[in-house]
Amino acid sequence: MSQQAVEKAKIKKGDTVMVIAGKERGKTGKVLSLHLADGKLIVEKLNIIKRHTKPSQKTRQGGILEREAPLALSNVMLFCANCQKPVRLGIKALEGGRRVRICKKCKEIVEKS
């Protein structure tokens, strides 16, 4: 992803998103982390993979661990609490010069969930 795309990423950590493509399509969850350089994000309790690990200093107990795998940013959309639908986002400047994210459907300010 280019530097401009990184700056323009409208989804932030803590947002509620809905998956619009792939095996987890239609499910919603909270964004745990963003990897903007790769164009990926991790969503809580979605895209679970099984990781076979050996015991080490870091993980004393080996075995099969389940954890979230990254999803592509293009496969998720922000979930608007007012519309109850996945929506596109716009950016609006308020009087004080502060910029806020708005829902393109209902024109409401989007706050982090």
Stretch 89-104: mean pLDDT, rounded? Answer: 92
Q: Where are any strands of DSSP class E within the chain?
A: 16-19, 28-35, 40-43, 48-53, 63-68, 71-72, 76-80, 85-87, 89-93, 99-103
Say how far apart CA 23 and CA 47 lie, in whole Å: 8
Average pLDDT, the chain: 90
* Six-digit token string for 102: 């708005």
Assess whether pLDDT exceeds 70 at residue 69.
yes
**What is the model's pLDDT at position 57?**
93
Domain range list for the chain: 3-56+63-87
Instruction: Answer whether CATH 3.40.50.2020 is correct for domain 3-56+63-87.
Output: no
End-to-end CA distance of the chain: 26
